[in-house]
Amino acid sequence: MAGDVTWSEDTLTLSEIRTSGGALGLTVAGPLDLASGTLALEGTIVPVYGLNRIVGMIPILGDLLSGGKGQGIFAATYHLSGAIDQPDVFVNPLAVLAPGFLRNLFFLN
């Protein structure tokens, strides 16, 4: 896992967090407010991460199709919001149909 974590008052903020294995990649970003017990996280779930990563290595075209580091050609976006112990979860499977650069423009806030 790699990324940036900052602590300010009672808020833990995650940015550019990436983790992956051969079967799955995951990105996450957003705040966790520990005082109020809420979160607002978003990111991308990349299935078959190994294959997606190989395509992403193609010069110029790879970044365009995959959406950049930690992303993939085939990926779904997600949002977690609300209470930390029972967040509302939204996964947008339609994002799988969009190439990386379009997914970044239209499906993540």
- Judged against a pLDDT cut of 60, whether residue 99 lies above it is answered with no
Contact (Cβ atoms closer than 8 angstroms) between residue 19 and residue 1: yes
Q: What is the domain extent for residue 41?
A: 2-106
What b-and-e string marks burial along 54-80, b requiring 16 or more CB atoms within 10 Å of the CB?
eebeeeeebbebbbeebbbbbbbbbbb
Predicted TM-score (pTM) of this structure: 0.68
If one counts the domains in the chain, the total is: 1
Residue with tokens 């809420």: 38
* Three-state DSSP state, 7: strand
pLDDT digits (tens, 9 = 90+) for 34-79: 999 999 999 888 776 566 666 566 566 555 555 555 455 667 789 9
